[in-house]
Chain A
Amino acid sequence: ETGVTQTPRHLVMGMTNKKSLKCEQHLGHNAMYWYKQSAKKPLELMFVYNFKEQTENNSVPSRFSPECPNSSHLFLHLHTLQPEDSALYLCASSQDDRQGFGSGYTFGSGTRLTVV
């Protein structure tokens, strides 16, 4: 275990469903991130939260809605997704997004999402 826990590990959902992905870290980090990893594509940064404030939103469609209630928890709410949204969704944390990538991220194992 890396210290960053993602649930569920696998999720199959229909295009009309609403579901949420959860990420939890107890490393004392104050920045958290959502990444999308699709086959044959580079890792795509979706959202960044630093001290619970969203600091980055990389033109992500509104069908993805993040929530960060505290520095230890991060959610990604999903609704009316498309089949092309099927991917591995990775959560990561770092000490601070201004310094964090100097020391590197800690990644969770990801949620494998399949939209049918």
Chain B
Amino acid sequence: AQSVTQLDSHVSVSEGTPVLLRCNYSSSYSPSLFWYVQHPNKGLQLLLKYTSAATLVKGINGFEAEFKKSETSFHLTKPSAHMSDAAEYFCVVSDPRTGGSYIPTFGRGTSLIVHP
């Protein structure tokens, strides 16, 4: 069984300050992990993914995430927030089911608020 917990429902930062969105996961296998972003009235856009290669993953728009197996974490960071980063962020875990299909589990989401 797999699960994902986003530890904060809301994160508020000032423009130009660092961003940290926390995610912990549970998986019986070596999972694939993802972060998606959703801007208002839009679908979800893939930010970055971890699929058992390098543990530090770089994504779009300056975001990156580090896979830490010992801590079962996959936190999302960005050195300097921009107003356009204000959105909902989803952490996703996916591991193979019987037959090889991958069905993901989504976290509840973290709303990032960026103040001028």
Question: Interface on A for B, CB 8 Å cutoff?
Answer: 2, 4, 6, 40-43, 45, 48, 50, 55-56, 90, 92, 97-110, 112
A104 (CB) vs chain B CBs: closest residue:
B46
Q: Which of B21-29, B69-77, B79-87, B98-106 contacts A (4 or more CB under 8 A)?
A: B98-106
- Interface check B94, CB cutoff 8 A: yes
Question: Interface on B for A, CB 8 Å cutoff?
Answer: 32, 34, 36, 41-46, 49, 51, 90, 94, 99-109
- By secondary structure, the A interface counts as mixed
**A-B contacts, 30 listed (Cβ < 8 Å):** A4-B43, A41-B108, A42-B108, A42-B109, A43-B90, A55-B101, A92-B43, A92-B44, A97-B103, A98-B102, A99-B102, A100-B102, A101-B34, A101-B94, A102-B51, A102-B102, A104-B34, A104-B46, A104-B49, A105-B44, A105-B46, A106-B46, A107-B43, A107-B45, A108-B43, A109-B41, A109-B42, A109-B43, A110-B41, A110-B43
Task: Check A2–B43 contact: CB distance below 8 A.
Answer: yes
Query: When chains A and B are docked, how far (Å) is the Cα of A104 from the Cα of B106?
Result: 13
